Amino acid sequence: MSSSIIVAEDEPITRMDICEMLTSAGYYVVGQASNGLQVVELCRRFKPDLVLMDIKMPKLDGIQAAELLIKENIVESVIMLTAYSGKEFIDKVKEIGAIGYIVKPIDENRLIPQVEIAIAKGKEIKHIKDKIENIKTIHTAKEILMEKYNLTENDAYKKLRKMSMDKQASIFETSKNIIRYK
């Protein structure tokens, strides 16, 4: 399955060129936006693997839109597109957590490698976040068992593991059920 991408660019010809480059490289462009509000709306609907976002856009600029999408964990990765290479823009983009920064004009030889790397890094970051969430869930379940049965952390983990084996479920699934039915 090819990766899904949303292109947010207020210049229609530039947006069309980028979409054409992506499509010819085998990517699935699920949406196009000409302003920051549109891109947020499209991302909430399609949850793309990547957003290519122009910094200067009407209604909501690209940095504000990207920051919102990253904070809400709606997209896996964002590459910022801009005609500006000034340090103040680069610093802002680094602060919000975008994975890439491409200075216009954009050509396929620079775009596609950046897209590949951003998608791979976005998936890697998502995997790490998921692992952290799993660890937090298991830890919370252990705390519940420790409190409920007056167990040590090690004994709570053994009980959690035994409950998982008895139900033929993962420790994570068992932990979610313990938390749910606390």
Assess whether 22 and 82 both reside in one domain: yes
The count of structural domains within the chain is 2
- Determine, yes or no, domain membership for 121: no
**Tokens representing residue 163 in the block:** 């409950």
Assess whether 139 and 100 both reside in one domain: no
The confidence band for 128, taking pLDDT boundaries of 50, 70 and 90, is very high
Mean of pLDDT values over 56-74: 93
pLDDT at residue 115, as a whole number? 97
What are phi and psi for residue 106, nearest 5 degrees?
-100, 130
The confidence band for 141, taking pLDDT boundaries of 50, 70 and 90, is very high
Assess whether 76 and 147 both reside in one domain: no
pLDDT at 1 over 80: no
Closest listed residue to residue 169, CA positions, set 133, 178, 126: 178
First to last CA, the chain: 40
- Determine, yes or no, domain membership for 83: yes
pLDDT at residue 125, as a whole number? 92
Which residue range(s) make up the domain with 153?
Answer: 130-180
79-97 confidence digits (pLDDT tens): 999 988 888 888 999 999 9
Assess whether 24 and 82 both reside in one domain: yes
Q: What CATH number has the domain bearing residue 44?
A: 3.40.50.2300
Assess whether 85 and 41 both reside in one domain: yes
Q: Spell out the alpha helix ranges (H) of the chain.
A: 12-24, 36-46, 62-71, 87-96, 108-149, 153-167, 171-180
